[in-house]
Amino acid sequence: MSQCEQTTGLSVLEHGISVKNYLFDLINHLEKLTPLKYEWRLPEWLHSNRDLIISSLPDKKTLKLYTILHDIGKPYCLEIDENGRRHFKNHAEESYNVFIKHFDNSLAAELIRRDMDIHTLKSEGVEEFARSENSITLLLTGLAEIHSNCSMFGGLESTSFKIKWKSISQRGKQIFQIKNKK
């Protein structure tokens, strides 16, 4: 992981550590109402669902294992196209397969397997996704990941970041509407 570049100048391992740092910045903010260390754009649903979010998260050891190693399979599925761009086809499934060979944490493994779900979620799949046990963890981690990656997109004001943020924000709103109906 440390030898495979996620993007120029950033290894897959460094990316995982960054996602972990962003996620725990957000969790600490929610749990203790501490100021955020990193630059964030927070969706409206975050604070209004604070208690549900906190109570839905797995233990911190599992969260650290998941976030740091969520792309552990990327070195095994790296493809570089004719323009020199990196692609990691089916990296979530590959990461799951590598993880289960080396670690004994079924929850972290399942989170790794479903890591891309929040980023690719279409409106017709929101209901099913929201009803899954790990939906809030995947949503919060997705929010942390787009913030961790925002410098790759050109910062919080870039069009690319705004598109990713809008999607996460909308999906989160839909997820909490479903969760709060229970």
| Mean pLDDT on 2-27 | 93
pLDDT > 90: what percent of the chain? Answer: 85
Read off the pLDDT of residues 29-50 as tens digits, 9 standing for 90 and up. Answer: 999 999 999 999 999 999 999 9
Q: Where are the domains of the chain?
A: 5-179
SS (H, E, C) the chain: CCCCEEECCEEHHHHHHHHHHHHHHHHHHHHHCCCCCCCCCCCCHHHHCHHHHHHHCCCHHHHHHHHHHCCCCHHHHEEECCCCCEEECCHHHHHHHHHHHHCCCHHHHHHHHCCCHHHHCCHHHHHHHHHCCCHHHHHHHHHHHHHHCHHHHCCCCCHHHHHHHHHHHHHHHHHHHHHCCC
Q: Residue 84: is its pLDDT beyond 80?
A: yes
pLDDT at 182 (0 to 100): 63
pLDDT at 85 (0 to 100): 87
Q: Residue 168: is its pLDDT beyond 90?
A: yes
Q: What is the pTM of this model?
A: 0.94
